[in-house]
Amino acid sequence: MSITVRYFASLREFLNKSEEKLETTTALEIKEVWTQLNPDKVLPENTLMAINMAYVDADQKVQVNDELAFFPPVTGGGG
């Protein structure tokens, strides 16, 4: 049982990884997930978070089998 964690764009390059799994049998705080997986890195300010592809706040709990994503401000579109 695990949580899937994904990183995108500049954050993916900064961490040099795009996806990993955190083994857990219980729900975890988002901050806890980050700290366990990136113990020597501060979560950059302005980082956006999504659970199961929906935006969440940093205080949301991550359930077992959830997909948690961290990414920088989005810049799509054009013009």
Partner 1 sequence: MKIKITETALNPWQEIENYQANKSELSGKFGATNIFIGTMRDFNDGDEVTSMTLEHYSGMTEKQLATIIEKTQQNYAILDVLLIHRVGLLLPNQPIVLIAIWAVHRGDAFDACREIMEALKSSTPFWKKENLTEGSRWVTKNSKGYQT
Is position 72 an interface residue for partner 1 (rule: CB under 8 A)?
A: yes
Is position 71 an interface residue for partner 1 (rule: CB under 8 A)?
A: yes
Positions 51 through 70 that interact with partner 1 (CB under 8 A): 53-55, 69
Is position 10 an interface residue for partner 1 (rule: CB under 8 A)?
A: yes
Beta strand pairing status for 67-71 and 2-7?
parallel
Contacts of 22 (CB under 8 A, 6+ apart): 2, 3, 5, 28, 33, 36, 37
3-state secondary structure of 12: helix
Residues in touch with partner 1 (CB under 8 A): 6, 8-10, 13, 48, 50, 53-55, 69, 71-79
